[in-house]
Amino acid sequence: MKRTQWLIATAFILAFAPWQVQADVRLSDIFKDNMMIQRDQPVAVWGWAASGESVTVTLAGKEASATADEKGRWSIKLAALKSGENLELKVSGKNSITLTNLIVGDIWLCAGQSNMQMGLGECWYIADDIKNADLPQIRRIRINWGKSDKPQDDVSVASPWQVCTPQTAGGFSAVGFYFAREIAQKTGVPIGILDAGWNGTAIEPWTSPEGMEMVPELRQAVADVKNGTSFYPTDQMARALDETERWIATARKTLAKGELITSSPTNIPWHPDFSDDRSIFMGAVTGGRSSWNCIFNATIRPLGKFPIKGALWYQGETNGNEDESYYDKMRALVSGWRKLWSIGDFPFYFVQLARYQGVNEDPAGGDGWARVRCAQTKSLKIPHTGMAVTIDTDADLHPKNKYDVGLRLSRWALVNDYGQKNMEVSGPLFREMKVEGGKIRLKFDHTGAGLMVGKKKDGREPVAEDKDGKLKRFSIAGADKKWFWADAVIDGATVVVSSPDVKAPVAVRYAFSQNPDGANLYNKDGLPASPFRTDSW
């Protein structure tokens, strides 16, 4: 072929190559080798192709077809599978895609901030866990960080589906790993982890607009989001551009005179939803509305077509100075996610914040994360939720003991979702109080095999009963709202609290501080009591 003919042919191929690429069938980024398929739910498969192209999907002897719409989108659902491993998924159109080594099991979304993101390799006592992590029934995919002011169709994947091995386990979310291992070992059900933690993020960006609309207490936040989104282009940005144009005109005249320019143009404002990375960390927490919905739009919404079993949530540090408002946001978060997946009130289990920083010796407490822990406990009112209490793990912003966290979350799932019996899901949760003269008697849910003064050691040893020990971190107050450290004793399934300094008590607090070091009320199942307050002062 002459050089001129070769150049013409090459130009022709290059000119039309993009159209050929667009015509190829492609899958959403979540579909990779080694992936897990959610059992007992229709198998959803989706992607893109040329408009009008016929696409066929084959899995486990089942086949279905669809035609790509005008935007090239196609979606197929196959019949639910109860089990299966080493499966192949074949997608055929103008080209073919084959995914191998697929397995059927239960998929759990693991989301939140850094304590959910924290890898197994960063934790304590993990040498044997990693050495023995040849667990082909456990799979994990790492979802990429993403934020957007508009709903997105596809999710970005940072690390494709991996089989759990000694070589890969160190990168798994530690909480997700221990949860998955416990469930798989106790039930034989394969467990998949959608690993989506993002360090430092607040709860607001993870929340959907639909979830916000479902919580009356967030009415003003909903209005702020709507107004802020329109206010940015019509007011903030328009004003900034006008000012910049005036500056440019003045600057040109100044230069024409041979003079120095001594001013600078107006700063262009950040987009209220996603342009400033700081918005997803502190925007809404500090009074702004900039962080609402943006992670949900880019990371969670695209996953809504992908069937799951439930969700695990470990977040709260960034919202740590909140009180009742965090409960309202939890309602919005859970309700919005459940509406997105449309599979009913799927299980949603979360972690209460651990101890952190110095010990406050003021019996009134209330510092730091004390109030948000109470809001987290109140979130148990949301149907089909559960909470892992962690105030007895290491006192750290990033506790290195994620073993107890994962196992405590797994208790909720094992009992509620996998039919396990004779297992307590929680430590004692305050239910009610009764004033008896100069004392207050406290009653609890989840007393299990009975209440005890507990002693927790580092490592994997179970909590031991301290038969000679005394309950700590209880305080008591009268109507004057003056708090004093209290004597607290276990009496059957109750705790009786008193102080010689409070003759007519009206309220009790337990472990109500940022770092309630020494709090030691447990049930005999080895699970710690949640911090609580009986007052609302």
Query: H-helix or E-strand containing 26?
Result: strand 26-27
* Contact call for residues 207 and 329 (beta carbons, < 8 A): yes
User: Is pLDDT at 156 greater than 70 in this prediction?
Assistant: yes
Q: For residues 50 and 23, what is the distance between their CA atoms, to the nearest angstrom? A: 4
Q: What is the pLDDT of residues 447-494, one digit of tens each?
A: 999 999 999 987 788 999 999 999 999 999 999 999 999 999 999 999
User: Is pLDDT at 322 greater than 80 in this prediction?
Assistant: yes
Q: What is the pLDDT of residues 362-376, one digit of tens each?
A: 999 999 999 999 999
Q: For residues 264 and 388, what is the distance between their CA atoms, to the nearest angstrom? A: 53
DSSP 8-state class, residue 209:
H
Q: What is the DSSP string of 60-87?
A: TTEEEEEE--TTSEEEEEE---S---SE
User: Is pLDDT at 325 greater than 80 in this prediction?
Assistant: yes
Using 50, 70 and 90 to split pLDDT, how confident is the model at 19?
Answer: very low
User: Is pLDDT at 1 greater than 70 in this prediction?
Assistant: no
Tokens of 468: 């000679």
User: Is pLDDT at 8 greater than 90 in this prediction?
Assistant: no
* Contact call for residues 88 and 57 (beta carbons, < 8 A): no
Domain ranges of the chain: 429-533
With H, G, I as helix, E, B as strand and everything else as coil, classify residue 351.
strand
User: Is pLDDT at 273 greater than 90 in this prediction?
Assistant: no
Residue labelled with tokens 């299966």: 84
pLDDT value at residue 369 = 96
Using 50, 70 and 90 to split pLDDT, how confident is the model at 283?
Answer: very low
Report the candidate in 142, 145, 129 with the shortest Cα–Cα distance to residue 172.
142
pLDDT value at residue 50 = 96
DSSP 8-state class, residue 463:
P
Using 50, 70 and 90 to split pLDDT, how confident is the model at 246?
Answer: confident
pLDDT value at residue 290 = 46
User: Is pLDDT at 285 greater than 70 in this prediction?
Assistant: no
pLDDT value at residue 232 = 60
Between strands 87-92 and 96-112, the pairing is antiparallel
